[in-house]
Structure 1
Amino acid sequence: MTYNESSFRVLKGLEPVRSRPGMYTRTDSPAHIVQEVIDNAADEALAGHAKRIHVAAFRDGSISVTDDGRGIPVGLHPTENVPVVVLAYTVLHAGGKFDKTSGASAYAFSGGLHGVGVAVTTALSTRVEVEVRRDGRITQVTFSDGGREVGDLVDTGPCGKQTGTRVRVWPDSKYFDAPRAPLAELERLLRSKAVLLPGIAVTLDVEQADGQFARTEWQYRDGLTGYLKEMAGGVEPLAPVFAGERYAGQDEDFAPGEGAAWAFAWFDGYAGSESYVNLIPTVAGGTHESGLRGGVFEAVKAFVEHHALLPRGVKLQQEDVCGKMSFLLSARILDPQFQGQVKEKLNSREAVKLVSTRVTPIFEAWLNQNVEQGKAIAELAIRQAQSRLRDAQKVEKKKSSGVAVLPGKLSDCESEDIADNEIYLVEGDSAGGSAKLARNRETQAILPLRGKVQNAWEIDPDRLFANAEIHDVAVALGVDPHAPEAPDSVLANLRYGKVVIMADADVDGSHIQTLLLTLFLRHFPRLVDSGHVFVALPPLYRVDVPASGKKRPARRFYCLDERELAAVRDRMEKEGIKPEALEVGRFKGLGEMNPDQLKETAMDPATRRVLPVSVESEALVATRELFDLLMGKGEASSRRAWMEAKGNLVEADL
């Protein structure tokens, strides 16, 4: 294959559009090339020269657009020596919307500055008919075969004082996935033009199978506010719709007339949003939307700070305020710059400042004049911020290749039969070491816990795994946190039939035991309901009794508390053993027990004392209320009153 001077091809006229239509318009349907014609009519209305826009959709797939504006000039262009109407429909980069520097062009505010416009419509249509009423005469011209054939201008007679333009387009189906412009999209476009052009009558006629036309008319007296309420489907906003408009004057940083009109509100259900630049729908948003959100955010932020509404530790972000805000925005910009030929997104950087400086002072003043409504908006934003913070703090299980990683400090058992195996949650590494030596490796697993487990009564489930000890407990058990009404399937991956809490027999041990029971009752209730949770009862005292004769060898007793110790002493005294002969030892903790002692008292099923944990159904509400009282962070005063009333019932080992 040769590559030389003849390899280069120059595309002239409208050939670039026909060769690469996707660079200039949407190719899913002809909707955009029809919109180009409608936008021209809307520009005439925006400039104050048209009062009516009429669109007709015919059964043959063609669409006509008629306005009562000034009419496209039909005279010769002073330098091109071609009728202006022909230039508009056949030449790229030709139009009456380029001289924008002074705002004194034919269209100070129009749809954009791509320079392709309605010429794209001609390029992708089999036929375009244009009829102009201007200067008392009716002039017609026809473009065929994608603009390759241009008919002569024909004067068809007088029109009196009537002015305007009528354009009928037959889209060429070979360029589009669907041959017809979707009627629903066409209706949305025309309805929006009626909303954005107060006083303009917009009509759509659709030809039916019998040749009659079904007519729809739009004319919004309430403008943006009425349209936004219609979009919300009758749902009432949390605060009244805030609507307004503001345009630059002679002595401002922007050109006279630049600015925006808006309507926005917050609904329980998102009602959707739409934005426009010089009446062109910007479905992908852009810098004008950024300006609106920024302006609203600054106003709400100032209101919140002024009224000291923000809780400690919460910082508002723009998404907190604007995430659920529905809005309509219509910006007027002298020289808009868009991304892409279909003008879906505004890129003009100055639009951010233009819109935000219009919105912020007006909305901030409204908030401070309507404090209750302002607080409703602020509270919604604060709730969103708190939810965002909770989501940001959400901690997942540590995983490797999609499988939860068992804690490194877990000494697992060999059995996988939960009818036999059990896990001991042991207070401290020292006790954990003794428990590892005392256990039955076949059926007993040991998980040492360092320090006290966090009080989990009021922790959000998504934040549980931020605590290393709770994370390790959940991973070792194979059960995720769940609600009381969760199905039995939440225990499908449970790795142990018994979960045994083993802590020291002192005040600290009781506290650790209570914290673990709090964790299970609040976040793993199905474990408790199904009878999988137990509490080991290690002794506080050891009593060694010396031998007395051949028939009475030395003996050892373990006592849970002072009451059991007193009972052993009484029994030995009745047997004739002197009190001073008894050797009484107190365990400061599980770590002081040797493995044999720990096995005998707390781990050997034949000799240990272990209590099952359960909550009777009739006592469930009372139990949860008691845990609320004892473990709730905001219950300090109630807790104090409870302790003062019940303190005499405590047998404290101090």
Structure 2
Amino acid sequence: MKKKYTSSDIEVLKGIEPVQKRPGMYTDTTNPNHLVQELIDNSVDEAISGFCNEIIITVHKDNSISVEDNGRGMPVDPHPEHKVSGVEVIMTNLHSGAKFSEKNYKFSGGLHGVGVSIVNALSEFLNITVYRSNDSNEYAMSFANGDIKRKLTKKRKTIKKKQGTIITFKANTKYFDNQDLDIKELTHLIKAKSILQSKLKMILIDDRYGTGKTEFYHEGTLSDYLISNISNDEIFLPQNTYFGAIETDIYSIDWSCAWLENSSNQIQESYVNLIPTNLGGTHVNSFRSALIDAMREFCERKNLLPKNLKISPEDLWKNITYTISLKMSNPQFSGQTKGKLQSNSISTALTSKLKESFEIWLNRHSESGVKIAEIIIKNAQARILSSDNGLKKTSSKSILLPSRLSDCSLKDSRVTELFLVEGDSAGGSAKQARDRSFQAILPLRGKILNTWELTSSKILESKEVKDISVSIGVVPGSDDLSRLRYGKICILADADSDGLHIATLLTALFLKHFKPLIDAGHIFIAKPPLYRIDFKKETFYVVDDKERDVLLKKLKVKKDNQSLHITRFKGLGEMNPSQLRETTLSKKTRRLIELTLSNKKKDYDLMNMLLNKKNSADRKIWLEKKGDLAQID
């Protein structure tokens, strides 16, 4: 290291050298996806301004990429100051372009003017071909490692009316962690842009990764796009999403959003001038503030909030899925990758406009508004229950468990099991039959509350439900399973109609208020036997009449055989501990059925029909159709 530090030691990086020296300051160097996006963004800017209606992206076998549009074509005339073609100025100088004023582009994603030059700087080679309207020539220029390889040339057009720009480049692998494109991410980006810019045709031709040719063209709304990305069996509100648009002289914004019953599959996408803003920013913050302010006022006006409950932005945001598209002049981004909008000048006005729009929608769609409020209130109650120690602790490590719970000695939820048992009599037998090391027993007194129409805070007024919640270590309505105490939670009820009713109510409790437990595979139905069959010196247990008849047929014995003894268990309490252990608790011989949802929406609708008091008419029709299937004890 030199001891003397003089002016001669100062380096001035010219043209695109800064990009090659510090590529991470200008682009995402994980893979070349962002370079492709920069070219697509330039072409989309032409579309936004009304000069382009088709963009073709080709991924070649050698991993080079071409982006072609039918816009106006890059300028080829000499620049008045630099005395070289516009193409050369754009490709070899940072912060050059026609997007710093509004003369050529009212809305543009390429405000910083470094996008295309970044692509050139970080490419092994880059070839550009330009076709200008009202110009009979085809112009071409080529670069290697950012330097000019061939100056701008021209020749006669082969297609007279052709116009636009074609850029083909191959990313230099030394600048990127991975030379391969994320083709799935690129496809999603192209699809999103085609939807955000209606009537823009975008074609992806993949000759390298095997996805082939895909065309994207959209004339619908953001609502159509959002709904198409929601799983078919997902329940969401409102049915057609909440969508709208606002346009001023400074900006225009389009949005669509909905609240999901299950908060784990949200799509949360935002764009500025069709540039993805993965980190959100001003437009997302304004949207969020507007929704929560309008919803708070709606809940107060409709008297929906329980006493002393306040909803937070997180409660509203937890289940929301949305797409927001903002177009504005001179957007200010944080960083060249444009991940976050920082145009604070529009924040107050934008929030006010969005709030007013949501207020109008809530007043016109009051019923949907109430249902959305119920989701938000449920989230708020779960948050408060969790923070206020809904699972009460005597210390940071010990939980005050229900006195009726006979817990197991092991604490590893990967092996522990909890059996919810009907009644004290059966509970007593189960306690004696269990393996105390990993099996816990919680006896329930009679039929539990029908919790289907109740809020998660309301159900905790039931001692039985609260005991279940505290025992398992999960708050109703919460997605947090970090304190789950048992890997298997098993519903163990009598095999008769009363037992099935209790099992149905418990199933409803878990589906409505502890659904993440079902999704994670923690809820099971234990199948105790209804009959004990003794024949000669053998003993069999069967769960229902059908299985009994199949066994008798297999044994080739009639019911009046003197060597045959059939005992019907009236309940679990009639079984001695050894029988209960052998038939229901022992891992080797028991039958456990995992509670799963084959079709979330269909299963939910069925339970809603069976348990919702408002659906008595539908229940009557269902019983008339299905009544013949009932088996009377």
TM-score past 0.5 threshold: yes
- 1:63 is aligned to 65
Query: In the alignment, does 2:270 pair up with 1:268?
Result: no
How far is the alpha carbon of 1:622 from its aligned partner?
5.3
The CA distance in 1 between the partners of 2:285 and 2:222, in whole Å, is 19
The 8 Å contact of residues 39 and 116 in structure 2, kept in 1 or not, is answered as: yes
- 2:128 is aligned to 130
- Deviation readout 1:388-434 (Å, 9 max, x if unpaired): 1112212xxxxxxxxxxxxxxxxxxxxxxxxxxxxxxxxxxxxxxxx
Structure 1 or 2, whichever has the larger Rg, is 1
- Deviation readout 1:606-651 (Å, 9 max, x if unpaired): xxxxxxxxxx99x9525999xxxxxx9799xxxxxxxxxxxxxxxx
Structure 1 pair 491–278 and aligned structure 2 pair: CA distance change class (3 A): closer
Structure 1 pair 491–140 and aligned structure 2 pair: CA distance change class (3 A): closer
- Deviation readout 1:251-297 (Å, 9 max, x if unpaired): xxxx2xx1210010011233221100000001111121101111111
Structure 1 pair 172–310 and aligned structure 2 pair: CA distance change class (3 A): same
- 1:596 is aligned to none
- Deviation readout 1:578-614 (Å, 9 max, x if unpaired): xxxxxxxxxxxxxxxxxxxxxxxxxxxxxxxxxxxxx
| Correspondent of 2:287 among 289, 292, 305 | 292
The 8 Å contact of residues 260 and 332 in structure 1, kept in 2 or not, is answered as: yes
The 8 Å contact of residues 331 and 355 in structure 1, kept in 2 or not, is answered as: no
- 1:106 is aligned to 104
Query: In the alignment, does 2:146 pair up with 1:153?
Result: no
Query: In the alignment, does 2:409 pair up with 1:489?
Result: yes
The CA distance in 2 between the partners of 1:318 and 1:213, in whole Å, is 40
The 8 Å contact of residues 112 and 335 in structure 1, kept in 2 or not, is answered as: no
Q: Which runs of 5+ in 2 are unaligned?
A: 413-422, 433-440, 450-459, 464-633
- 2:169 is aligned to 169
- 2:206 is aligned to 206
The 8 Å contact of residues 288 and 352 in structure 1, kept in 2 or not, is answered as: yes
- 2:5 is aligned to 4
Amino acid at match of 1:263: S
Identical-pair percentage: 33
| Correspondent of 1:339 among 324, 334, 337 | 334
Amino acid at match of 2:165: T
How far is the alpha carbon of 1:479 from its aligned partner?
6.6
Structure 1 pair 485–154 and aligned structure 2 pair: CA distance change class (3 A): farther
- Deviation readout 1:481-502 (Å, 9 max, x if unpaired): 269677512699xxxxxxxxxx
- Deviation readout 1:98-117 (Å, 9 max, x if unpaired): 01xxxx32111111432311
Map 1:516-595; keep pairs closer than 5 Å: none
- 2:369 is aligned to 374
How far is the alpha carbon of 1:342 from its aligned partner?
0.8
Structure 1 pair 335–174 and aligned structure 2 pair: CA distance change class (3 A): same
Report SS of the residue matched to 2:236.
Answer: coil
The CA distance in 2 between the partners of 1:490 and 1:34, in whole Å, is 55
The CA distance in 2 between the partners of 1:486 and 1:332, in whole Å, is 61
Amino acid at match of 1:61: N
The CA distance in 1 between the partners of 2:108 and 2:448, in whole Å, is 66
| Correspondent of 1:82 among 70, 77, 84 | 84
Report SS of the residue matched to 1:331.
Answer: strand
The CA distance in 1 between the partners of 2:350 and 2:403, in whole Å, is 47
Report SS of the residue matched to 2:162.
Answer: coil
How far is the alpha carbon of 1:193 from its aligned partner?
0.8
Report SS of the residue matched to 1:345.
Answer: coil
- 2:306 is aligned to 311
How far is the alpha carbon of 1:386 from its aligned partner?
1.2
- 2:445 is aligned to 621
Report SS of the residue matched to 1:74.
Answer: coil
| Correspondent of 2:352 among 357, 380, 392 | 357
TM-score of the two chains, using structure 2 as the length reference: 0.62
How far is the alpha carbon of 1:223 from its aligned partner?
2.8
The 8 Å contact of residues 282 and 343 in structure 2, kept in 1 or not, is answered as: yes
- 2:611 is aligned to none
Report SS of the residue matched to 2:166.
Answer: strand
- Deviation readout 1:347-394 (Å, 9 max, x if unpaired): 111343354233222221111111110101011111111111112212
Structure 1 pair 622–9 and aligned structure 2 pair: CA distance change class (3 A): closer
Report SS of the residue matched to 2:373.
Answer: helix
Map 1:86-485; keep pairs closer than 5 Å: 86-99=88-101, 104-134=102-132, 135-158=134-157, 159-207=159-207, 214-234=212-232, 235-240=234-239, 241-249=241-249, 255=250, 258-269=251-262, 270-394=265-389, 460=390, 462=391, 464-465=392-393, 471=394, 480-481=400-401
The CA distance in 1 between the partners of 2:137 and 2:229, in whole Å, is 41
- Deviation readout 1:16-48 (Å, 9 max, x if unpaired): 111111111111111111111010001101111
The CA distance in 2 between the partners of 1:383 and 1:180, in whole Å, is 44
The CA distance in 2 between the partners of 1:182 and 1:483, in whole Å, is 55
Report SS of the residue matched to 2:170.
Answer: strand
Structure 1 pair 386–171 and aligned structure 2 pair: CA distance change class (3 A): same
Structure 1 pair 155–485 and aligned structure 2 pair: CA distance change class (3 A): farther
Structure 1 pair 486–12 and aligned structure 2 pair: CA distance change class (3 A): farther
Report SS of the residue matched to 1:55.
Answer: strand
How far is the alpha carbon of 1:140 from its aligned partner?
2.9
Q: Which runs of 5+ in 1 are unaligned?
A: 250-254, 395-459, 466-470, 493-520, 531-615, 626-631, 636-654
The 8 Å contact of residues 287 and 347 in structure 1, kept in 2 or not, is answered as: yes
TM-score of the two chains, using structure 1 as the length reference: 0.60
Report SS of the residue matched to 2:238.
Answer: coil
Amino acid at match of 1:58: H
The 8 Å contact of residues 129 and 166 in structure 2, kept in 1 or not, is answered as: yes
How far is the alpha carbon of 1:238 from its aligned partner?
2.4
The CA distance in 2 between the partners of 1:40 and 1:483, in whole Å, is 68
The 8 Å contact of residues 90 and 96 in structure 2, kept in 1 or not, is answered as: yes
How far is the alpha carbon of 1:529 from its aligned partner?
6.3
The CA distance in 2 between the partners of 1:260 and 1:32, in whole Å, is 24
Aligned-residue CA RMSD in angstroms? 3.1
Structure 1 pair 145–389 and aligned structure 2 pair: CA distance change class (3 A): same
The CA distance in 2 between the partners of 1:164 and 1:213, in whole Å, is 26
Query: In the alignment, does 2:40 pair up with 1:38?
Result: yes
- 1:547 is aligned to none
The 8 Å contact of residues 142 and 151 in structure 2, kept in 1 or not, is answered as: no
The 8 Å contact of residues 333 and 351 in structure 1, kept in 2 or not, is answered as: no
Question: What count of residue pairs does the alignment treat as equivalent?
Answer: 425
Report SS of the residue matched to 1:217.
Answer: strand
Amino acid at match of 1:185: E
The CA distance in 2 between the partners of 1:155 and 1:491, in whole Å, is 77
